Amino acid sequence: MTDNTGAMNDLIAAVDLGSNSFHMVIAQEFQGEIRTLERRGQKVQLAAGLDERGILSEEAQQRGLECLREFAQFMQGMEPRRVSVLATNALRAARNRQQFIERAEEILGYPIEVIAGREEARLIYLGVAHTLADDAGRRLVVDIGGGSTEFIIGERFEPKALESLHMGCVSYTKQFFPDGVITEARFDDAVDAARQELLNIETHYKQLGWHSAVGSSGTIRAAEQALVENGWEAEGITPAGLKKLRKQMLQYATTDDVSLPGVKPERRQVFIGGLAILQAVFDTFGLERMIYSDGALREGALWDLVGRSTHENVRERTVQAMAERFYVDTAQAQRVKEMARALFAQVQKDWKLDNGWGYWLDWASQLHEIGLSIAHSGFHKHGAYLVQHADLLGFTRQGQAKLAAMVRSHRRKFLPESFSEIAPASRTAMIQITRLLRLAVVLNHSRGAHPVPCPLLRSEGDRLQLVLPEGWLAEHPLTARDLAAEVSQQKGAGFSLEIA
């Protein structure tokens, strides 16, 4: 591949571990655009392997792992920071997802991030928006996946509303057509169930309004292709076209019998569930036409990678919005952030930390006091809970776990087990930067009552020595006492800290 495209570090890649299919796209940034070099997709039906207890079967895991072995051949040698591997609804729901993730990461050689439904919706919209004309006017974007369906209202590149509902082509086919038998009553039950789910967003979305409707991913692509190849529509999907599709599908006795031109063989068995959801979407929102877009989650992930490399980072806006929402003392957060960054700069080389860890330190500094909006007592625990469970656009589930661990550990007992959910590959770095955050917080306990000099910080492996100007600690006995307590806390966690 490098012979045709240049150096490997010019490439970016996104892998979408969907509930029905896994997809990979490898591309190159070229004059502000993304040029696709390789695109692969394979039906895996991960969601079909989930039992009623939320356990992902070994058979389903093996289907996924076999697919990833093929993908891995294309991705060898790429920079980790330029690769995004995202997992969606099936792995969100799987109780044993970590087992699959560890095996998959060993095959791919890159970390896998499980994303929340609204983050999935944000990335889908980003992918769709980049494939359409940059016209004014709001658009409704619908993406029917294997286990969830995302709904977004946005204008140009900015989403105005993001939702993810628990209904997908695999899960609905499994629920309403469990033995594969197709009947009109079953189809109508599936449509009714989808309409019931849509009640959660119907009023809000209709109030926002839209000028056009766009669909993405497999079900909607298959529906449009079936309409076109059967000569029922020239382009797009309409209520009349859906009526013809419904009539045609009800002529098949079972999902194994489905043989509809335009619907690929690997999609035929789950198309009935997706069609029921699409019918409910048209009925609920009164749609007259929906066009199809090639953009989807994986394309959005690529644009997100490009955006982060040029500092157009949604995570910065998310952190800022959360700080405002919970009335964070921004002046204090800035003091802690600046001090933490100054300490980071002094140990970065010795600890072999890349610049990306500095951003995590920034975000944790900005959010470390959000728990104060709930109660002062144990506010670090309250803050960690908020960070862990809020919808933070731009952050994956693992990313939120990282931030939550830092917020939880920025004061009082320093417990390395708080980082047990962090992937081993990044756990050491997370603990290291949290040590710096703790020092920045202690040094700024006065909350700006007096100037705090930036100390000299020396590192030798895990050993830290903090050096302050001569006589300063004697003039600030409260800070001296706090630092002495911090020495004890870090010692209890197995780390050496010396105040000179």
- Residue 39 pairs in a beta bridge with 25
212: its two tokens: 């056009």
pLDDT of residue 31: 66
* Residue 169 neighbours by CB distance under 10 Å: 31
- CA 177, distance to chain mean position in Å, is 31
> How many angstroms separate the CA atoms of 93 and 51, rounded?
10
Q: Which of 413, 411, 431, 428 is nearest to 492 (CA)?
A: 413
pLDDT tens series, the chain, 500 aa: 444 444 566 899 999 999 999 999 999 987 667 888 999 999 998 998 999 999 999 999 999 999 999 999 999 899 988 999 999 999 999 999 999 999 999 999 999 999 999 999 999 999 999 888 666 689 999 999 999 999 999 998 899 999 999 999 999 999 999 999 999 999 999 999 999 999 999 999 999 999 999 999 889 999 999 999 999 999 999 999 999 999 999 999 999 999 999 999 989 999 999 999 999 999 999 999 999 998 889 999 999 988 765 544 678 888 998 999 999 999 999 999 999 999 999 999 999 999 989 999 999 999 999 999 999 999 999 999 999 999 888 888 888 999 999 999 999 999 988 998 887 878 999 999 999 999 999 999 999 998 999 999 999 999 999 999 999 999 999 999 999 999 999 999 999 999 98
> How many angstroms separate the CA atoms of 368 and 365, rounded?
5
**Helix 356-367 with 397-408: angle, nearest 10 deg:** 60
pLDDT of residue 34: 84
Q: Which of 254, 275, 260 is nearest to 226 (CA)?
A: 260
Q: Any idea what DSSP says for residue 237?
A: B
Measure the CA angle with vertex 444, ends 442 and 447; round to 5°.
135
How many CA atoms, within 13 angstroms, populate the side-chain half-sphere of residue 302?
A: 31
Amino acid of residue 41 = G
> How many angstroms separate the CA atoms of 40 and 71, rounded?
8
Q: Name the strand (E) or helix (H) holding 349.
A: none
Q: What is the per-residue DSSP string for 183-209?
A: -HHHHHHHHHHHHHHHHHHHHHHHHH-
> For the chain, how long is the longest CA-to-CA vector?
88
> How many angstroms separate the CA atoms of 347 and 341, rounded?
10
494: its two tokens: 């197995």
Q: The tokens 């009623």 sit on which residue? A: 52
Q: How many helices (H) and strands (E) does the chain have?
A: 20, 13
Residue 447 neighbours by CB under 8 Å, 6+ apart: 329, 332, 335
pLDDT of residue 311: 43
Describe the strand order of the beta sheet including 456-460 as a list of residue ranges: 456-460, 463-467, 497-499
> How many angstroms separate the CA atoms of 485 and 412, rounded?
9
> How many angstroms separate the CA atoms of 26 and 399, rounded?
23
Q: Name the strand (E) or helix (H) holding 271.
A: helix 271-285
> How many angstroms separate the CA atoms of 216 and 297, rounded?
9
